[in-house]
Amino acid sequence: MAVGLIIIGDEILSGRRQDKHLPKFIALLAERGMQLDWAEYLGDDPERITATLRRTFAGDDVVFVTGGIGATPDDHTRQCAAAALEVPVALHPDAEKLILERIADTSPGGMPDMSQPDNRHRLKMGEFPIGAVILPNPYNKIPGFSVANHHFMPGFPVMAWPMMAWVLDTRYADMHHLRAHGERSVLVFGLAESTLTPLMETIEAEYQGIKVFSLPSVGDAERGEIYARRHIDLGVKGDPSLLGAAFERLLAGVTALGGEIVHPADAVPVPAGTLPKQD
């Protein structure tokens, strides 16, 4: 089962807010030995949200969705999920209970006045697609919801991140550390990607279960003096049992091509004579 992330909100696409969910979700997955397979950003467009969810509901992926589950005019995610599933929305009884508790928590004397329009309107946040189960929100009790392998939560990081962690630990503990994975890389100077491509292809052919990656940079002085020069972040990732041999093969190949190797951890060039000989 692949893992995907959908981030919804015009404020992300317009630049009014900077997305923080993607790096955090990647980190939460990594802590559990999991990886993110794909991610999508969507604005507050009901037709596009519905079409996207209809497509993802038809698959087998585990999908986390942030944003748009409130009850303001620009929140469409709950209704779009229902439309994609071709079911109506209805006030979930467990969500109703939690929202009433939250209203009581914020009311003078703990006695909410449900005759007030704003309090009645807040119950709309508990209207989920028929068949959904609630997703607990430890921050303010206003729940998200889950349908099959889709999990919907607010766009606020303070709420979404613990909800993400809860889902990963409660629903998908059997997926933790299921795919063994490792990664090692170096900085390469003095070589072009086109020169390195045959070496990369050879390593992938020789070590099934290993992928070679290449991230070129024209220079980034903010990261330090060594990074200011044009370089390539070159590495291998995949099966840990093959990683060491593949990495040594990569180092030897770069050396044979005349490239300069620098390890990012200490930014010190690899001493001459320390690389394995290549037949």
Residue-by-residue pLDDT tens, the chain, 279 positions: 899 999 999 999 999 999 999 999 999 999 999 999 999 999 999 999 999 999 999 999 999 999 999 999 999 999 999 999 999 999 999 999 999 999 988 887 777 777 788 888 889 999 999 999 999 999 999 999 999 999 999 999 999 999 999 999 999 999 998 877 889 999 999 999 999 999 999 999 999 989 999 999 988 777 777 778 889 999 999 989 999 999 999 999 999 999 999 987 655 444 434 444 433
Same domain, 126 and 52: yes
Tokens in use for 2?
């692949």
275 is a domain residue: no
Same domain, 37 and 115: yes
User: 76 by DSSP, 3-state: which?
Assistant: coil
- Look at the chain and report how many structural domains it folds into: 2
276 is a domain residue: no
Q: What Rg, from alpha-carbon coordinates, does the chain have?
A: 24
279 is a domain residue: no
Strand duo 182-189 + 231-238: pairing: antiparallel
* Beta-strand runs (E) in the chain: 3-8, 38-42, 62-66, 89-91, 127-129, 133-135, 144-147, 150-153, 182-189, 210-217, 231-238, 260-263, 268-269
The pLDDT of residue 276 = 40
Beta-carbon count within 10 A of 55 CB: 10
Output DSSP code: residue 222: G
What are the C-alpha distances in Å from 199 to residues 166, 193, 216?
43, 10, 16
277 is a domain residue: no
Whole-angstrom distance, CA of residue 93 vs CA of residue 166: 21
- Asked if 259 and 188 touch (Cβ cutoff 8 Å), the reply is yes
What are the C-alpha distances in Å from 174 to residues 31, 94, 232, 246?
14, 27, 37, 29
CATH code at position 14 = 3.40.980.10
Which residue carries 């292809």 as its tokens? 201
Same domain, 229 and 158: no
Whole-angstrom distance, CA of residue 147 vs CA of residue 159: 19
Residue range(s) defining the domain that contains residue 197:
182-269
Total-model pTM: 0.81
The pLDDT of residue 264 = 76
Q: What angle do CA 193, 196, 200 make, to 5 degrees?
A: 115
Query: Which one of 118, 145, 175 terminates a domain?
Result: 175
Query: Which one of 141, 175, 209 terminates a domain?
Result: 175
How many Cα atoms are found within 13 Å in the side-chain-facing hemisphere of 194? 0
